[in-house]
């Protein structure tokens, strides 16, 4: 398959093409702060809890002391609950410079507690991956499909031929919305009889991000 192409649309691009300073790049990939790490699951990890360690700051992506390796075979399944609603725009995935690097990634939205049996269903998007040792390749999601995500499952279905798969970093780029705050805001202005209040809430940035 040609470089940067994915099944079902999307593709990858390098950091240089984004033409952003490292500080901005780090901010862009701040969605790891919006993951409910206590409830995050990684199925088929060889060391319990190691899957959580790959969701870290972008500037720490080259820290190779934290990684996850698959156990029984080459597959890994991450169940990632967010603390609000996410509009997912891009993903970076870093591996080892050998055949243990993931070669295919399948994304599913809003299916909590996914199992490997559930991966038989059609994914929302599938990517054919290239080796990325520095965290420079971004895979762009179909934003129309990932504009209202409270739970993301990442299925690493294949690698380049090794018995196990190793991942050092997964970066998530997008926008996050705090659900509870929106619900309170909406209730407040609906309970108010003042038309001016209604207009004020319509132009708040928070309301802008409701999809």
CATH of the domain at 57: 2.60.120.470
Task: Tell me the pLDDT tens digit for each residue of 121-145.
Answer: 999 999 999 999 999 899 999 999 9
Band the pLDDT of 28: cuts 50, 70, 90: confident
Give tens-digit pLDDT for 49-61: 999 999 999 999 9
| Count of structural domains within the chain | 1
Angle between helices 195-202 and 179-191 (to 10 degrees): 160
184 within domain boundaries: no
- pLDDT category, 207, cuts 50, 70, 90? very low
In a domain, 101, yes or no: yes
Instruction: Please give the biggest Cα pair distance in the chain.
Output: 65
Average pLDDT over residues 92-105: 97
Asked if residue 146 is part of any domain, the answer here is yes
Task: Report the half-sphere exposure of 68 (CA within 13 A, side-chain side).
Answer: 27
pLDDT value, residue 14: 55
Nearest of 93, 85, 96 to residue 155 by alpha carbon? 93
Tell whether 204 is covered by a domain: no
Residue-number span of the structural domain to which 83 is assigned: 39-174
- Convert the pLDDT of each residue in 161-192 to its tens digit: 999 999 999 999 999 998 765 444 444 444 44
Average predicted confidence (pLDDT) for the chain: 82
* Residue 176 · residue 144 · CB < 8 Å: no
Does residue 160 lie in a domain region?
yes
Residue 203 is assigned to a structural domain of this protein: no
């Amino acid at each position: 398959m040609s470089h940067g192409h994915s099944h079902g649309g999307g593709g990858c691009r390098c950091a240089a093409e984004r033409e952003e300073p490292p500080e901005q790049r780090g901010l862009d990939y701040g969605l790891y702060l919006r993951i409910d790490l206590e409830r995050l699951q990684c199925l088929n990890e060889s060391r319990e809890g190691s899957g959580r360690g790959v969701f870290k700051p972008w500037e720490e992506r080259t820290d190779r002391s934290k990684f996850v390796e698959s156990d029984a075979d080459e597959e890994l399944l991450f169940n990632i609950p967010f603390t609000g609603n996410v509009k997912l725009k891009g993903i970076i995935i870093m591996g080892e410079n050998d055949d243990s690097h993931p070669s295919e990634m399948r994304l599913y939205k809003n299916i909590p507690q996914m199992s490997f049996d559930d991966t038989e269903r059609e994914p929302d998007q599938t990517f054919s991956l290239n080796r990325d040792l520095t965290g420079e390749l971004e895979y762009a999601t179909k934003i129309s499909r990932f504009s209202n995500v409270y739970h993301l499952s990442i299925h690493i279905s294949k690698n380049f031929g090794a018995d196990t798969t190793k991942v050092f970093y997964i970066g998530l780029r997008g926008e996050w919305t705090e659900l509870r705050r929106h619900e309170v805001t909406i209730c407040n202005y609906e309970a108010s009889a003042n038309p001016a209040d209604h207009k004020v809430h319509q132009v708040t940035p928070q309301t802008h991000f409701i999809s």
